[in-house]
Structure formats: structure tokens, C-alpha cells
A and B are shown apart, each in its own frame.
Chain A
Amino acid sequence: MSAAPILSVHDLRVHFPIGGGLLRRSKKMLKAVDGVSFDLRPGETLGLVGESGCGKSTLGRGLLRLLPNVAGRVVWLGQDLAKMPPEALRQRRHDMQIIFQDPLASLNPRMTVGEIIAEPLRTFHPELLPTEIKRRVQEMMTKVGLLPQQINRYPHEFSGGQCQRIGIARAMINNPRLIVCDEPVSALDVSIQAQIVNLLMDLQRDTQMALIFISHNLSVVRHISHRIMVLYLGRVVELADRELIYSSPRHPYTQALISAVPLPDPDQERQRRRVVLPGDPPSPLDPPSGCLFRTRCTRATDLCAREAPTLVPAGPGQEVACHHWDR
């Protein structure tokens, strides 16, 4: 995987101003995403993990410019998205897509499956004839495991797993180079999750598209990702290859996160030592000084209160933002 990156993100920030009372005084900034940088190569999957409020979904939407207040540089196939005029940006969007957590809510209930899947195609290829559109839609339906004869059905006639397949078909119809998957299996039953994960991995193998896979489920993320980014309160605390993040997590938060995931194995589960974090995450509106994790960290020192740690290499394929990662 040494090809040139298709996506380079430098110091991405998404800060939301929070209204400061009646007279709009003392406006606070909510730093939902703060200083995130990474590269993504063709055929690569980057997993984004972290707990609610860590900014993983905001990051996914921010880099597609689906949000206001995005600062920093997002270079997509050599072009800086921030400097692109809106119409050019819209044109660029055909090869970057997103799929969402709630499969039914993200599909228009008044459109047939065929219309839903065809919409991006019609938008970017208005010249296509209806017969050609239908052919491509049915081909895509087969690819994602839907029956082509269901083309005239409506979303409510499908189960959650099938709706997610419709969402994937819609995202795939223009042969995107990147799909941001925002908790795509979280709303699905366990037996269906595996179907969707397998489908995404098969499609990636066939098309070499890159994936950004956002999930709070570490087991799923580890399975599908090549590299994993761990976020805490909008900042990257660790970025490492999938093996390293499990076998030798360096950041104390990553360690706690990994140790908290229950394993479906009674013997192992009862022998494991769990790092139980004290307390709750601080409010993102009132974050602690220095390292954001220090209020729950057993290694915290004066240095951590004074200075925010930056992401430094902790070995090949692993970067960590902790003053005491080697302790």
C-alpha cells in the first residue's frame, strides 16, 4: 500500500460557536474536531473509534465538507477542497460518498429503491438514457445482494440490513474512490452485521475504494480496518496499524478502551484484567488544560496539565499523543 494518498488531511478543525446567552456575550467554542491530520491511500480502510462526543462523526462529515465551520486543509486527489468553488466541489463529490447509521431514515420513503440508487447517477450523468440507468442500477443491486426485480419496491418493504444494502448501492453507483461509513452496522442485528461488513470488504477488494469506517464497536473496526485512529474529545490520541492497536496500545485511553471490550469467550473474559477508567469524560465546552485525558489518567503529571501532547511516532506504524507513552 505504497500508492500516493488520495486524501490528505492537515490540521482539520471543526469548531462550533455555542450561543452565549441573550446578549451573545462570552461565546464559547466547542472544539468538536481539533487538529486532525492523516493520509488515506487507495484500497485502504481507516477506522475511527472513540466514545460518544469524541468527534468521530463530525470528522467524517467535516472532511466531506458536509458541515460549516471546517478549517484546515483537505487535499483530495491533489486539490484543496477548501479552495474549490462550490460548483467544482459539488462535481468532486461524485467520487466521495457517505453511508449512515440508520439505514431507513437515510432513504427517502417516497422514492422507490430504483430511484434512490439512480439519483446520484442522474445527478452526475444527466446524459444517460433511462434504459442504461436501469441496467446500471440493477447491476449494482445484484452486486450488493439485492434482487434486481425489487427495483420498484419502497424502503419500508425492506429490513434494516437490506436498507443498508440500498444505502451502499446508492453510494457505490458512481464508482466512488472513498466512502465514509458512519456507524453502518450499529443499528443492525448481530447476524446481519457480518453480512454488511463482508459486503463492504468484498466491494473494496473489487474496486480499490478507500473507506473511512466510523464505529464505536472496536471489534468490528479492528476487523475491517488497516489503520485505526482513536479520538478523545476531538483530538487524535493514537493512530496505528490494526495489529499494533490491539497488541501494544500505547495511549492509556486506548488501553482502557481495548480492555473494556467484552470478548465472547467465558474463560478469557473472566481472567482478563480490566482497566476501568474513573469518572466520566469532561465536558467538551470546558475541557481541562493540557492533555484532555489527564483528568482520568493514572499517569498524569504536572507536565500533562501544562502542555497538550502532540502526536509523535512510537515505532513503525504507530503514533501516540501522550507525554508518558513509553512509561
Chain B
Amino acid sequence: MPSTPRTAETAATGAALLEVAGLDTVFATPEGEVRAVNEVSFTVAEGESLGVVGESGSGKTQIFLSIMGLLAANGRASGAARFRGRNMLELDRAALNQVRGNRMAMVFQDPMTSLNPYLTVRRQLTEVLVQHKGMSEGAALAAAIAMLKQVQIPEAERRIEMYPHEFSGGMRQRVMIAMALLCQPEVLIADEPTTALDVTVQAQILELIGELRRASHTAIILITHDLGVVAGLCDRVMVMYAGRTVEEGPVRDIFYSPRHPYTAGLLHSLPRLDETKAERLVAIPGQPPNLQRLPQGCAFQDRCPRCQPLCRSERPMLRQIEPGRTVACHRAES
């Protein structure tokens, strides 16, 4: 039996910070509706770190773009995403701007598309503080330099006057993180923050995120396809497949006793650097389904080694199998 996660690493205090309930996100396309996110519910407590894992098209990013009000024009989100009790989906633009960037910040995979190439880093960093915190230009500059130092940008005083293209990829990502953290947000949403980076730089950035979390008690939501990154940084993990949550639970449970065949399949299909002998990888056969042509029943049925007739006729509901542990599979035993 899996034991509970080690509490030493868990900085969560239990108070719910973000409560998402029944979130649906639909895109209108010329080929018809695409239901990118379906009935997704989860909570993130203060100081907690949640990993959201899934492959391309699983809906993992769209959940958070919905919450942040950043969906593409043809997208529409419904349900509830309460941040400190206020439903983010119902806020108008002005109210939303008071929360995002300030109390809730998001970092994206590609820093070059999120930083304005025409503005110096100084301008982009101090703007946030002047806007959200009403700081003076001088105080904002001092705070921005201090934050760049905290994310280990060498010669921060000089570099803050530079443009984004003058930084390396890893440094740009650090600038992004610095920008996201400037207002001391209560939640940092990091969408594949290290995917574009080299592995040694990734190690630096992950170390940094972990440290900031310990120091400032910021809740972290890490969206990624890299299970290794999740293993090191997250308290809990939510696994997404074809727009739905298929499994959620404490990190050790998910890695050591996955209950959904998709989660188990993902873990088995990874070659491991510490493998002792080169056994054949256990690949998941087939490919992810097209969201516009989902089969009746379970979306994973055609790739699942445990599929039975019920899986083809009825979609499994997400159900609790243990306290804090949910799974959407007919074959998972309680």
C-alpha cells in the first residue's frame, strides 16, 4: 500500500485558495464544437503544489487559460473557478486584471512570445508594480532589481536595461518568473516552464521554483508532460486525457500505484536514466483520440489493455476510491 506523502515537503496549510468545479471549455470551430475541457474539478490549497500532466490536446493548458480569462476568441468557459471565493469566470475585465498578474500569475513555455521585444526588461518589470501596487518608479526599479537577483540573474543592475533578445533562453525564462513573482502572487501557474530549456538550465529553474515556494509560500500549479519534473516538485498530481481528468491523487500514489491504465501506461513507456537493463519499453498502442470524434464510452478504450464491453458503452465517471484519490475507470477497484 502506498503511504501518505511526506509531510516535510508539503507546505500546504489546507485553506483552499483555488476551487475549480465543473469547468467546461468549448471552442467553436468551422468543423463544429470542440470540447477541450470537460467537467474538470480540483482545489489548490495555500502553498500547495499541483502537477497537471497530459499530452498535447489533453486540455491541460486550456483549463488555466480559461481561469485566467485568456482563452482564444472562439473559446467559452463555463462552470466555476473560485479564487478566494470569487468566481473568476464571472469577473469583468477590470476585476480580472486586479487578480491576474497580481495575485495569480502565469508563466509560459516560450518566454520570447510572452516578453515584449520592443521594451526593456526594466520597463516590463516595473510596469507591473506601478500598475498593481501603485509603487513609485524608483521603488519599483529597486524591487525589480532585487527580484532579478533572487532569480539569479547576474549583474541585475546592468541587465535590467537590456532587451529580451539580449538574454539567453534560460535567463529569459528567469526574467519571466521574476515578472510573475514581482507582485508576490498567491498562485504561480507554470505552463511547461522548462520544456524549451536545456536540462542543466531546467535544473536551475526548477531549483529556483522550489526555493521560491518554500520561501514565500506561493502555491504552484505545474502544467507539464514531463513526469520527472512533477515527481520532484509536486504534492499532488492530476492526469488529463482527451479533455477530462482521468486520475488525481498524492504524488507518491500516482507514481507508485497508478489506478488508471493511462497513467500506468505513461509511467511504463518512459525510458529511465537509472534503468539497470535495457528492457523493451512498454508503449501505449495507438494514438490519442480526436476531440471532435470521441468514441462513446471511455476515451481511452482503444488503447487500453483492460478494456471490456462496459468501457465501450458507458463513460466512466470520476469517483473517489480513497480519501484524496479519484479515478475515472470502470476497472479501478476501490
Contact = CB atoms under 8 A, between A and B. Distances in A.
B274 interface: yes
Contact of A258 (B207, B273, B280): B273
A266 B206 CA distance: 14
Interface string B157-179: 00000000000111100000000
**Which 8 A-B pairs rank lowest in CB-CB distance, beginning with the nearest?**
A262-B228, A223-B271, A194-B283, A51-B198, A194-B269, A260-B203, A189-B55, A191-B284
Interface of B: 5-6, 9, 55-56, 154, 168-171, 198-204, 206-207, 225-232, 251-252, 255-256, 265-267, 269-275, 278, 280-285, 287-288, 303
B287 A263 contact: no
Interface string A29-65: 0000000000000000000000110000000000000
Contacts of A264: 227-228, 230-231, 255, 267, 270, 272
Interface residues of A, number: 44
Interface in A254-280: 256-270, 274, 276-277, 279-280
A205 B201 CA distance: 36
A222 B287 contact: no
A230 to B, nearest CB: 12
Contacts of A192: 283, 287
B266 to A, nearest CB: 6
B281 A198 contact: yes
A194 B231 contact: no
Contact of A216 (B6, B199, B226): B199
Contact of B255 (A242, A261, A265): A265
Contact of A269 (B168, B231, B270): B231
A198 B168 CA distance: 35
A219 B198 contact: no
A51 B202 CA distance: 11
A260 B287 contact: no
Contact of A260 (B200, B251, B280): B200
B281 A280 contact: no
A161 to B, nearest CB: 6
A264 B252 CA distance: 10
A265 B258 CA distance: 12
Nearest to B203: A260
Contacts of B285: 195
B283 A270 contact: no
Contacts of A280: 168, 170-171, 201
A266 B255 contact: yes
A305 interface: no
A197 B281 contact: yes
Nearest to B276: A243
Given A198-B280, A269-B231, 17 more contacts: A51-B201, A191-B303, A194-B271, A194-B281, A195-B283, A197-B271, A197-B281, A219-B272, A223-B271, A223-B278, A262-B229, A264-B227, A264-B270, A264-B272, A274-B207, A276-B207, A277-B200
